[in-house]
Amino acid sequence: MSDQLFDTTLNGLNTALNFRLMNQSVISSNIANADTPGYHAQKLEFESALRDALAVEGHMAMEGEHGEHYHKSEPGSVMASIYDNPNGVVNLDGNSVDRNAEQVSLAENQIHYDAGTEMLKRKLALLKYAITEGGSR
């Protein structure tokens, strides 16, 4: 088992933020192509894969007979799925982008991204405190 500098929380936040950036790109592409005939809106799905990668309690698979032989995938190895959004209604020109729904998704994604960056900032502040001030007692 390899030692890691950062814990699962930091790795998970990092991966979630990367996926939020990818999601921002997918949603922005949908909005940009709202008037493109034949364009089908895309959707990024990563929440369930991220949950599995973080090995939420009870989801760790044992690799051997010894109690320490657990397989845990790294959050950075999680793959997001991009697929055609099944909720889109296809217009007469073959386009399935709902501009209003995409703008709501964009705002929601931004809120999740901002919350993730705030959690990451606070976690790093705690580490900094532990390294500098917490160790001087």
| Band (136; pLDDT cuts 50, 70, 90) | low
Q: What percent of the chain has pLDDT over 90?
A: 42
Find the mean pLDDT for residues 1-13. Answer: 68
Q: Is pLDDT above 90 for 122?
A: yes
Q: What percent of the chain has pLDDT over 70?
A: 74
| Band (120; pLDDT cuts 50, 70, 90) | very high
Q: Is pLDDT above 50 for 12?
A: yes
What CA–CA distance (Å, rounded) separates 137 from 23?
44
**What pTM was computed for the model?**
0.73
Q: Where are the domains of the chain?
A: 8-136
DSSP string, 46-110: -HHHHHHHTT-TT-PEE-SSSTT-EE---GGG---EEEE-TTPPP-TTS----HHHHHHHHHHHH
pLDDT at 135: 58
φ, ψ at 45 (rounded to 5°): -120, 115
pLDDT in tens, 56-72: 544 445 455 554 443 44
